[in-house]
Amino acid sequence: MTRRIKFIQGNEACVEGALYAGLEFFAGYPITPSTEIMEHLSKRLPAIGGKFIQMEDEIASMCAIIGASLTGQKVLTATSGPGFSLKQEALGYAVMAEIPCVIVNVQRGGPSTGVPTHVSQGDVMQARWGTHGDHSLVTLTASNHQDVFAMTVEAFNIAETFRTPVILLFDEVVGHMRERLEIPEPGEIPIVNRLRTAVHDGVDYHPYLPREDGRLPMSDFGGVHRYNVTGLVHDMWGFPSDNPKIIHGLLRHLVDKIENNASHIAMYKTFYLEDADTVLVSFGSAARSALHIVKSLRKRGEKIGLLELQTLWPFPADIVRRYCNKASYTVVVEMNMGQVCQMVKTAVDHRERVFLANRIDGVFITPTDIKNILRLIKGRGV
Minimum CB–partner distance for residue 279 and another protein (Å): 43
H or E element in which residue 90 lies? helix 88-97
Residues 335, 338, 344, 350, CA torsion sign = positive
Q: Which is nearer to another protein, 89 or 302 (CB)?
A: 89
Q: Which is nearer to another protein, 41 or 177 (CB)?
A: 41
Site for another protein in 11-50 (CB under 8 A): 24-25, 27, 43-44, 46-49
Minimum CB–partner distance for residue 49 and another protein (Å): 6
Minimum CB–partner distance for residue 28 and another protein (Å): 12
Residue 49 one-letter amino acid: G
Minimal CA–CA distance to 225: which of 251, 196, 245? 196
Question: Cα–Cα distance between 354 and 377 in angstroms, integer?
Answer: 10
Minimum CB–partner distance for residue 55 and another protein (Å): 7
Site for another protein in 233-252 (CB under 8 A): 239-240
The pattern of x and - marking residues 255 through 294 that bind another protein according to CB under 8 A reads: ----------------------------------------
Q: Which one of 200, 226, 245, 300 is in contact with another protein (CB under 8 A)?
A: 226
Minimum CB–partner distance for residue 69 and another protein (Å): 8
Residue 330 one-letter amino acid: T
Question: Cα–Cα distance between 225 and 150 in angstroms, integer?
Answer: 34
Minimum CB–partner distance for residue 165 and another protein (Å): 14
Burial tier of 213 (Cβ tally within 10 Å: 0-12, 13-18, 19+): exposed
Burial tier of 100 (Cβ tally within 10 Å: 0-12, 13-18, 19+): buried
Q: 191-195: list long-range contacts, CB under 8 Å, 24+ apart.
A: 191/20, 191/21, 191/22, 191/153, 191/156, 191/157, 192/156, 192/157, 192/158, 192/160, 192/161, 193/22, 193/160, 194/72, 194/74, 194/100, 194/160, 194/218, 195/160
Beta-bridge mates of residue 330: 279, 354
DSSP letter, residue 196: B
23 and 76 Cβ atoms separated by less than 8 Å: yes
Minimum CB–partner distance for residue 222 and another protein (Å): 5
Q: How many residues bind another protein (CB under 8 A)?
A: 46
Q: Which is nearer to another protein, 65 or 124 (CB)?
A: 65
237 and 208 Cβ atoms separated by less than 8 Å: yes
Q: Which one of 210, 217, 223, 362 is in contact with another protein (CB under 8 A)?
A: 223
Site for another protein in 93-152 (CB under 8 A): 93
Q: Which is nearer to another protein, 56 or 134 (CB)?
A: 56
The pattern of x and - marking residues 44 through 83 that bind another protein according to CB under 8 A reads: x-xxxx-x-x-xxx-xxx-xxxxxxxxxxx-x--------
Q: Which is nearer to another protein, 111 or 240 (CB)?
A: 240
CB neighbour list of residue 270: distance below 8 Å, 6 or more residues apart:
305, 306, 307, 308, 323
Minimum CB–partner distance for residue 129 and another protein (Å): 18
- Per CB under 8 A, the segment of 156-164, 182-190, 228-236, 254-262 that binds another protein is 228-236
Is residue 90 near another protein by the rule CB under 8 A? yes
Residue 95 one-letter amino acid: V
Instruction: By CB under 8 A, name the binding residues for another protein.
Output: 24-25, 27, 43-44, 46-49, 51, 53, 55-57, 59-61, 63-73, 75, 89-90, 93, 220-224, 226-232, 239-240
